[in-house]
Structure 1
Amino acid sequence: MNLPLLLRILGALSLFLAAALLVPVPFSLYFRDGAWSAFVLAAAVCLAFGGVLFRAFSARQEISVREGFAVVTLGWSLYALLGALPFVLSGAIPSVLDAVFETMSGFTTTGASILTDIEALPKSILLWRSFTQWLGGMGIIVLSLAILPMLGVGGMQLFKAEVPGPTADRLKPRIQDTAKLLWEVYLLLTVAQVILLVLGGMSFFDSLCHAFSTLSSGGFSPRNASMGAYDSAYLQWIVTLFMFLAGVNFSLHYYLLRGRPRELARNEELRIYLGITLVAIAILVFTNQGAIYQSFSDNLRHSAFQVASILTTTGFATADYEKWPLLNQYILISLMFIGGCAGSTAGGIKVARILLLFKHAHVQIYRLIHPRAVRLVKLGERPVDKEVMQSILGFFALFIGIFVVASLLMAASGMDLVSGGAAVIATLGNVGPGLGSVGPVDNYAHVSPFGKSVLIACMLLGRLELFTVLVLFFPTFWRK
């Protein structure tokens, strides 16, 4: 392990966080909420810490796979710790553990919150909550690769370690160019959503916060009732649309903007993602009609909103789906496991992995019937490498194993079976709200300190897709 190189990159990431912490300052001064000093002090701490690391260690060389995993995992952990400073220093969240929980939930775009009265917090603090999700959505490391060439190291290992999905799409030969393109698309969609929300009558501040949380698939809202606070079909349909777009591979957005719509038509994962969305909406609408909603338009709007919110792991809410028929609750829980497309900002297992698992199972059954047949697992028209397939099988086994173990730990912390299991999948899948005591109208404030620590680990594992974090716990990883 090249420690000087690792520490230098962590120092650079801390310097970037120092700059990001100054973004809420103008809002604090405009709204006169008194929290500006907390952001300035937090930025100063990050600047001092990052400056020391960056200046003390000089290492300009190609980064290895091991350093890539270490940088990504330690970088996200560092951001959760340092990013919690404004919450603690402003007094918005006095408890350090609660502040780290909220910040980890932000940067990992989980959306699980310990706050009981969100609207009572300073406006700048609310903006910071949503801004952490926006930064974490496309990825802290990806952003750094796009705007911090001073790192002076190769970026592909960092890119592979952070970007969600079985494989990392490379749009340009240079990884910096790929990172810039992805962030340009991300920024363009964010601006578009802000404009559309403002046109619908939402304030600029609320529009900005919701756009940050939508495109990142995060789900933090400046309102206690989330999107349910806005009794506007237009606003809720706009958010539904952008939640769906956030769950699409961002490479496809780039191709569409470049006038290559055929790439979307040929993408099998996108077709399955769209199919899952439409089928889930249809079932919810059919089951809710008459039993929950008398108006078909209201039924369609709320059902579509919750499907998009849960499938893309955003976590916004317009209705208390715990009052819906039990079948619909099971469907929503299933969507938490699935998640969005690979290469999107959504969490979960990912549609591509689920699709390939079923294809792999089909091939195995086919070979039992035709032992001499040669049949390959394909995604679209491209054969899937055996190494990728083995990685997917390992990921699925680990995901289910961690879900079971973490659920048992939550039960040991005192939570009931439904609430504990829902809290684990809601954090491991980076969804946010679950069922039971952590449902869409509840929060995580009542969870014990031990339980919160388990869920913090689940958030990090889910966002970095297990392997990136778990490899650090093998002794051989740190040996020469």
Structure 2
Amino acid sequence: MWQRFSLYDIRVIGHYLGVLVLFSTIALLVPLATAIACGEWEPASHYLLTIGITLILGSGLRFLRIEPGRLGRQQALAVTGFAWIVLACVASIPLYLSGHFASYLDALFDGVSGITTTGASIILDLDHLSYADNMWRFMMHLLGGFGLIVVALSFGLFGKRSGASLYSSEGRSEHVVPNVVQTTQFIAKIGMGFIILATGILSLVCLFIGMEPLRAVLQSFWLAVSGFMTGGFAPMSQSIMYYHSFPIEVVLMLLMLLGSVNFVLHSEIWKGHVAVFFRDLEIRTMVLWLAVMTCVFAASLSASLNFSDLPAMLRRGGFMVISAFSTTGFQNITTNQLTGALSSGAFLVVALLMAVGGSGGSTSGGVKFSRVGIIAKSIVATIKEALAPDSARVVVSYNHVGRRMVTPEVVKEAMTVFTLYVLTYVIGALVGIAHGYEATQAIFESVSMASNGGVSSGLAAPGMPATLEAFYIVQMWAGRLEFVTLLALIVEIFVSFKPRRRAPQIRTGEVL
């Protein structure tokens, strides 16, 4: 039963939001240090100002502090939902001050895109952006890819009592170990391990192709963060095409694949349970889905003159398939090639890959393979029940870090989120069409935003209608929260503002 937000609830929510806002100051110190080290004094002043704003805002919210207690489910949902909004608004301040955005709404679009790891960008003159501002773009990917709550919990910010509620409110339900704090620390360690290793390899490649040492290391770090976090931001306007390097593309493809795998399965590999990994429902669904869609994509590309030769098909096609399914958004083809050179079938395949996304509990977006696999299992169960005798009891199971049963509750959760994603894709497409865009591009862009995919057909660009831009911001936010947190937050706010019904008063001696 939904309850109204009381003054106590508002104070609790405000307190935890204040903690998260103050915590974001640590992330802002990284671009500030970059600006000072590189002698970029104007960007440094922007980050000093933003740090001051976060300290004032966070401290003000902390004054709402009350006696510590365990967060309730509804309070945790509200904290998580509002945190993504508040931190996106704060993160957009230095972006707007950089002078590379036409308006604050454009900067907010990139801020939400960065934190939700969508990767779509409407920045102006990206190639001449300062090192500090570029560093901030990828720090947003780092925070959003791990999850704001996960990063905070990994530092032991909320403790065990409130941590469990906050952890599940961000769409995560699985634990590497029973302890929530240790689970988040493992996620952070394994993610940073992959990023540091990839940074070293990419730095060597960038030095080999002629980059200056500082630029090579920074751009390698940014690409590694964006690749493993399946974010999609790139330090150059041409995305991955800028480098003209097949080794860089190979490293990024491996990173995107690793980022698309559930962190729980990473832990199983770490423990040496390789058989558990390959028996998992998500991995098997991923392999089957990628095999089918890659064959369809290759067949569609073969009809195009730009991709008719095998090397071009393998390099460009393979990279785009992995970028789309992992919802990263890196591109090694231009937007014009995406919309004009690709056949309509290949264009549709990219959209479908983004719509489904990667594994649950990973850094990727979309519906997730876990839900697709469960829905497929439920279809199998329905067919078995139809063929089985009336007295038979049909049981369908699947592997996901152990043997599990396909229960009505599990199927309902998967179908609910799947339906919400599809509805959002359709509504977003209709909004794009209402703004005068072609149906195929509107559908593609809607899927890209709601799935946090980031591959753009050209609709998300500087000068786009403000109403469409605002809707895409909401889509990115809703897709990152996987709708449940967002809808719960909306219901709670609606219930809180809905006028109370007064109970009828009965007068003495009145007969009912």
**TM-score, normalised to structure 2's length?**
0.87
Q: Check 1:243–1:58 CA distance in 2 against 1; reply closer, same or farther (3 A cut).
A: same
Q: 2:349 and 2:96 mapped to 1: Cα distance?
A: 38
**Paired position in structure 2 for 1:347:** 365
**Paired position in structure 1 for 2:316:** 302
**Paired position in structure 1 for 2:338:** 321
**Paired position in structure 2 for 1:170:** 175
Of the structure 1 ranges 260-269 and 276-285, higher mean CA displacement relative to structure 2 is found in 276-285
**Paired position in structure 1 for 2:395:** 376
Q: Give the gaps of 5 or more residues in structure 2.
A: 208-215, 501-512
Task: Report the secondary structure of 2:363's partner residue.
Answer: coil
Of the structure 1 ranges 152-161 and 426-435, higher mean CA displacement relative to structure 2 is found in 152-161
Alignment counterpart, residue 239 of structure 1, candidates 252, 255, 261? 252
C-alpha deviations, 1:366-423, integer Å up to 9, x for none? 3233362422343323103322211111112222222222322232233332222222
Of the structure 1 ranges 288-297 and 249-258, higher mean CA displacement relative to structure 2 is found in 288-297
C-alpha deviations, 1:296-346, integer Å up to 9, x for none? 333212221111100000000001333122222121111111100111100
Q: 2:433 and 2:463 mapped to 1: Cα distance?
A: 14
Q: 2:470 and 2:155 mapped to 1: Cα distance?
A: 33
Task: Report the secondary structure of 1:114's partner residue.
Answer: coil
Q: 1:276 and 1:362 mapped to 2: Cα distance?
A: 17
Alignment counterpart, residue 241 of structure 2, candidates 209, 213, 228? 228
Alignment counterpart, residue 100 of structure 2, candidates 87, 92, 95? 92
**Paired position in structure 1 for 2:193:** 188
Alignment of 1:23-62 (within 5 A): 23-33=30-40, 34-62=42-70
Task: Report the secondary structure of 1:474's partner residue.
Answer: helix
Superposed CA RMSD in Å reads: 2.1
**Paired position in structure 2 for 1:421:** 443
Amino acid across the alignment from 1:231 = H
**Paired position in structure 2 for 1:457:** 474
Deviation, 1:270, is: 0.9
Alignment counterpart, residue 467 of structure 1, candidates 484, 488, 498? 484
Q: Does 1:156 align with 2:164?
A: yes
Amino acid across the alignment from 2:375 = L
Of the structure 1 ranges 288-297 and 32-41, higher mean CA displacement relative to structure 2 is found in 288-297
Identity across matched positions, percent: 26
Deviation, 1:35, is: 0.6
CA contact (8 A) 1:8 1:59 kept: no
Q: Check 1:252–1:3 CA distance in 2 against 1; reply closer, same or farther (3 A cut).
A: same
Q: Give the gaps of 5 or more residues in structure 1.
A: none
Q: 1:421 and 1:344 mapped to 2: Cα distance?
A: 25
Amino acid across the alignment from 2:31 = P
Deviation, 1:289, is: 4.5
CA contact (8 A) 2:137 2:233 kept: yes
Q: Check 1:150–1:163 CA distance in 2 against 1; reply closer, same or farther (3 A cut).
A: closer
Deviation, 1:152, is: 7.3
Aligned residue pairs, count? 472
Of the structure 1 ranges 195-204 and 448-457, higher mean CA displacement relative to structure 2 is found in 195-204
CA contact (8 A) 1:12 1:151 kept: no
Q: Does 1:17 align with 2:39?
A: no
Task: Report the secondary structure of 2:306's partner residue.
Answer: coil
Q: 1:151 and 1:157 mapped to 2: Cα distance?
A: 11
Q: Check 1:289–1:420 CA distance in 2 against 1; reply closer, same or farther (3 A cut).
A: closer
Q: 2:161 and 2:66 mapped to 1: Cα distance?
A: 11
Q: 1:161 and 1:478 mapped to 2: Cα distance?
A: 20
Q: Check 1:152–1:53 CA distance in 2 against 1; reply closer, same or farther (3 A cut).
A: farther
